[in-house]
Amino acid sequence: MLWSRAKYSVTTLSIVSFLESFIFPIPPDLLLVPICISNQKKAFYFSFLATIFSVLGGIVGYLIGAFFSDVFLNSLSWIFDEKSLEVIFDSILQWGILIVLVSGFSPIPYKIFTVASGITGLAFIPFLIASFVGRGTRFFLVGFIISRGGSNLEQRLRKYAEILGWTGVLLLLVYLCRSYLQFL
């Protein structure tokens, strides 16, 4: 919570939102929540920034897929086997913008579907609209919940912050170990 009041916290949120959409593993929600809690009156502004920069990052992911798919696919061989990539591409081909919308809102890694959308040649404008709707809904929902949470939200969060933090670290380690074991 102290960090969320730092001078460059909003800039950091914007950068993380941008990078997370095509390469960075940490979701912007981890920064958005404390920043919104620290200044609940600006929660929708912070949600707006997270949405805009996330969609801009999604555009970069789309372009990576469209123009650098060989490099991208080779660099992911340690995380995804060929069958997993087929499932991702088949999902894009079958569900189109719906899968982009769902991945933008849900915990499904949005970055995978931004790049896969470029690889499969999903139409750009529908991709862009689905990205705005999915990411906007996700981040504005966070802003709405926090703006309605009241002044004691920070105290309630502090009560569980350590448990939530260590749970997040544990989940990240499990994910990294699983990815590493697949590589072997």
Any residues with CB less than 8 A from the CB of 83 and at least 6 apart, and which? Answer: none
Q: Domain extents for the chain?
A: 3-183
Q: Categorize the per-residue pLDDT at 165 as very low, low, confident or very high, splitting at 50, 70 and 90.
A: low
Kindly report the CA angle at 86 between 138 and 110, in degrees rounded to 5?
A: 15
Nearest to 111 by CA among 16, 32, 45, 178: 16
Q: Categorize the per-residue pLDDT at 70 as very low, low, confident or very high, splitting at 50, 70 and 90.
A: confident
The C-alpha atoms of residue 31 and residue 47 are separated, in whole angstroms, by: 11
Among the residue ranges 30-34, 51-55, 71-75, 121-125, the one predicted with the least confidence is 71-75
Q: What is the pTM of this model?
A: 0.77
How many other CB atoms sit within 10 Å of the CB of residue 86? Answer: 11
Q: How confident is the model at residue 112, as a pLDDT?
A: 84
Cβ pair 19, 57 in contact under 8 A: yes
Query: Each residue of 131-150: pLDDT tens digit?
Result: 999 999 999 999 998 888 76
The C-alpha atoms of residue 65 and residue 85 are separated, in whole angstroms, by: 13
Query: Each residue of 9-22: pLDDT tens digit?
Result: 899 999 999 999 98
How many other CB atoms sit within 10 Å of the CB of residue 112? Answer: 21
Instruction: Tell me the average pLDDT across 27-55.
Output: 91
Written in H, E and C, the secondary structure of the chain is CCHHHCCCHHHHHHHHHHHHCCCCCCCCHHHHHHHHHHCHHHHHHHHHHHHHHHHHHHHHHHHHHHHCHHHHHHHCCCCCCHHHHHHHHHHHHHHCHHHHHHHHHCCCCHHHHHHHHHHHCCCHHHHHHHHHHHHHHHHHHHHHHHHHCCCCHHHHHHHHHHHHHHHHHHHHHHHHHHHHHHHC
